[in-house]
Structure 1
Amino acid sequence: MLNLLLEPLGYEFMRNAIAIGILVGILCPVVGSYLIVQRMALLGDVIAHCVLPGLSLSFFFGVDILIGAFGSGILGALLIAWIRSQTRVKVDAAMALTFSTFFALGVTLITVLKNKLDLDSFLFGDILGVAPHDIQRTFVIAALILLMIKLFYKELLFYTFDKTGAQAIGLPINTLYFGFMAAITLTIIASMQAVGVLLVISLLVGPALTAYLLVKELHQMMIVGAIVGAIASIVGVYLSYYRNLPSGPAIVLVSSSLFLLALLFSPSQGILTRSTQTESTTRLMNRFKFLRRND
């Protein structure tokens, strides 16, 4: 058993994959928890596709992809907010329009500019191909976002559950919104190498949803979600090594499996445990009624 755990660690690419997998597995659920409680889970998927034009332009001009992807992702988020504020268009329609427009623009730019951008790696990730500098950048992004969340946790909590109240007491809700969009965009950029843009939404939402079924408080949800995300990443990488599976999809499938287990067996919200609790409650009520009648 110990040999099964240690054998993959003898390869540098596996050590790099596990390291970045843990970082992404911790970061994504923390940010994803806010998306879930705000009922904006699909926003992560939209921003993930909005970064494609920025990536294409970054490759063409020879600048760091972080700059182009970040600018493009923020532009997409601001466009959604602008459409919502200036028209009667609902948020889901605004996201669908922005999603399709930016993705089409990105594919067009790749074709016109003749970029050598690996679309397969971009869409599905290449965690086994990460380099030490990728891990360092992901670590810096994760540390920065987690630090900001810790420093402004109370403000973000108030903004998340009561935007009107947050505005009434003078909190800078526009700044909080921009900061939240920046955090989502940076999280997606940090996760692209691991799972790709098509699967990043699963890592953003999956572990956080699993935690949502297990705990009640937001800070507990972030902690449990981070643990679940890290476990899913490690197990997914090991499965990809021993079963010759694509690493990104393997991580996502493990995450989804953990959610399914929580859905079935969660002590408070599990489908199977809930039915057992209901039967126990019914028996207690019937027993109580029987005793009342005898009295």
Structure 2
Amino acid sequence: MSIFEFLLEPFGFVFMQRALAVTVVASVVCAVLSCWLVLIGWSLMGDAVSHAVLPGVVLAYIVGIPFAVGAVLFGFLAVGLIGAVRDTSRVKEDAAIGIVFTTLFALGLVLISVTPSQTDLSHIIFGNLLGLSDPDLVQVLVLGAFTLGILLLKRRDFTLVAFDPTHAHAIGLNPRLLGAVLLGLLALTSVVALQAVGVVLVVAMLIIPGATAYLLTDRFGMMLLLAPAISAACAVAGLYASYYLDAASGGMVVLAQGSAFAVVYLLSPRHGLVARHLARTRRTWAAAGTALQTTQ
């Protein structure tokens, strides 16, 4: 098999073409949003919202309305419940997040188990990348374009709120409102990503790309370029691996992202484990050399 046959064979199938389009779109949108989640420290909140949208998605399916409507409603419900538990009890925020998102996620599992359906709703949990239909593709493209457009349009405001909410408030911005918008976009992004990898693995796509880019650069603008580029490359690599290894597509995409993070974690020029070890070694030898010269 030539290199061209190797590269082109998987995408000779229509279902692989749909999978590629959905995965790349989901990867790019999740990666851009993940930059703010990592910067603000909302990784656990991203986990909570991405899992808490499950009952909203199932109810939307039952009622016959777009998944995004149910996801956004339950995303905000989860955030409201977390705040209520945190503010009206001795329970701290991390525990409140764990309580709320696991309860809502369990509610979603129960709804799936008791909902009569001609289709297998378990694909909402684990993803069904190779079984996507044309309407699924259109929904992902529309939601992805809308979410990415808002993120890019308001990127300066989101970034200012992330770095200095006090200054943002002083110049007339509303940090609480912008936070709510970001959470709404998080719920929409979860709908986009669950089409690719399911609810269980959505959090990986929302966290790993931003964390990987964060280890590569100190400039937030560069993060916004590196994260989606890395994520899209991992999406393509994961699909190739899943095709030739006959493995789960969503899992391979996330595994590719995790592998990319591991490589960057070890080999990043400034913040990698190896680079920091070498820098410490050089400082130690420099200090020993200085001490030796002093004694002489």
Distance 1:111 1:6, change over 3 A: closer
The whole-number CA distance in structure 1 between the counterparts of 2:188 and 2:256 is 24
Which runs of 5 or more structure 1 residues have no equivalent in the other structure? none
- Deviation of the 1:132 alpha carbon: 2.8
Instruction: Indicate the SS of the match to 1:196.
Output: helix
Contact 1:56 1:117 in 2 (8 A): no
- Deviation of the 1:126 alpha carbon: 1.0
Superposition pairs for residues 107-186 of structure 1, below 5 Å? 107-115=109-117, 118-186=120-188
1:68 is matched with which residue: 61, 67, 70? 70
The whole-number CA distance in structure 1 between the counterparts of 2:182 and 2:197 is 21
Q: Provide Cα deviations, 1:30-69, integer angstroms capped at 9, x if missing partner.
A: 1111111122202122112211221222222222222222
Instruction: Indicate the SS of the match to 2:257.
Output: helix
Equivalent residue, structure 1, for 2:104: 102
Segment of structure 1 superposing worse, 258-267 or 98-107: 98-107
The whole-number CA distance in structure 1 between the counterparts of 2:139 and 2:194 is 12
Structure 1 residue ranges, 4+ long, deviating more than 6 angstroms after superposition: none
Instruction: Indicate the SS of the match to 2:218.
Output: coil
- Deviation of the 1:255 alpha carbon: 0.6
2:82 is matched with which residue: 63, 80, 83? 80
Contact 1:59 1:117 in 2 (8 A): no
- Equivalent residue letter for 1:23: V
Instruction: Report whether the alignment pairs 1:224 with 2:226.
Output: yes
- Deviation of the 1:123 alpha carbon: 1.4
The whole-number CA distance in structure 1 between the counterparts of 2:113 and 2:243 is 34
Segment of structure 1 superposing worse, 70-79 or 27-36: 70-79
Instruction: Report whether the alignment pairs 1:266 with 2:268.
Output: yes
Equivalent residue, structure 1, for 2:28: 26
Segment of structure 1 superposing worse, 69-78 or 185-194: 69-78
- Equivalent residue letter for 1:277: A
Equivalent residue, structure 1, for 2:201: 199
Equivalent residue, structure 2, for 1:51: 53
* Percent of pairs with identical residues: 34
- Deviation of the 1:100 alpha carbon: 2.0
Contact 2:56 2:71 in 1 (8 A): yes
Q: Provide Cα deviations, 1:64-93, integer angstroms capped at 9, x if missing partner.
A: 222222222222123223433444432212
Instruction: Indicate the SS of the match to 2:53.
Output: helix
The whole-number CA distance in structure 1 between the counterparts of 2:28 and 2:289 is 47
Segment of structure 1 superposing worse, 153-162 or 236-245: 153-162
- Deviation of the 1:116 alpha carbon: 5.3
Superposition pairs for residues 284-295 of structure 1, below 5 Å? 284-290=286-292
The whole-number CA distance in structure 2 between the counterparts of 1:25 and 1:107 is 25
Superposition TM-score, scaled by structure 1 size: 0.91
Segment of structure 1 superposing worse, 131-140 or 6-15: 131-140
Equivalent residue, structure 2, for 1:238: 240
What is the RMSD computed on CA atoms of the aligned residues? 2.0
- Deviation of the 1:16 alpha carbon: 1.0
Superposition TM-score, scaled by structure 2 size: 0.91
1:212 is matched with which residue: 192, 211, 214? 214
- Equivalent residue letter for 2:104: F
Contact 1:123 1:197 in 2 (8 A): yes
Distance 1:84 1:162, change over 3 A: farther
Distance 1:43 1:203, change over 3 A: same
Contact 1:56 1:115 in 2 (8 A): no
- Equivalent residue letter for 2:29: L
Segment of structure 1 superposing worse, 165-174 or 280-289: 280-289
- Deviation of the 1:133 alpha carbon: 2.8
Contact 1:48 1:200 in 2 (8 A): yes
Instruction: Indicate the SS of the match to 1:4.
Output: helix
The whole-number CA distance in structure 1 between the counterparts of 2:169 and 2:85 is 21
Superposition pairs for residues 273-284 of structure 1, below 5 Å? 273-284=275-286
- Deviation of the 1:140 alpha carbon: 2.2
Which runs of 5 or more structure 2 residues have no equivalent in the other structure? none
Instruction: Indicate the SS of the match to 1:170.
Output: coil
